[in-house]
Amino acid sequence: MASIVRIRLEPSGQIIEAPRKANLLKTLQEANIPVGSSCGGQGVCGSCKVIVLEGSENLSSPNDTEIELKERYGLGEKDRISCQCKIFGDITITTNYW
């Protein structure tokens, strides 16, 4: 497996790279990509939600915190809480505020 993964941001098509197993929210923040996070990535607010368009199998499985947030906010199957995700392979994501 590659030690570097690629994250494609839609609709811009911008691609950022990250080390395998990196946290998705931190990776986006380090690349200066605007992403919501009023709790600072503590898994409380759910505002760092992204929509996975491709590569959902390349993210860590939802943990208990993410499952609870998804249930609380009625999020869909393709929605992920980025502060709770580790990236294991290439993905394509979007969100409603890009």
Reported as a single tens digit per residue, the pLDDT across 23-82 is 999 999 999 999 999 999 999 999 999 999 999 999 999 999 999 999 999 999 999 999
Ordered strands of the 49-54 beta sheet:
14-19, 4-9, 91-94, 49-54, 79-81
Q: Where are the beta strands (DSSP E) in 1-98?
A: 4-9, 14-19, 49-54, 79-81, 91-94
Whether residue 98 is predicted with pLDDT greater than 90 in this model: the reply is no
pLDDT of residue 97: 79
Q: Which residues pair with 80 in a beta bridge?
A: 50
Q: What is the pTM of this model?
A: 0.94
pLDDT of residue 5: 97
Whether residue 1 is predicted with pLDDT greater than 70 in this model: the reply is no
CA distance 31 to 24: 11
Question: Which one-letter amino acid corresponds to residue 96?
Answer: N
CATH code of the region 4-94: 3.10.20.30
Cβ–Cβ under 8 Å, residues 91 and 7: yes
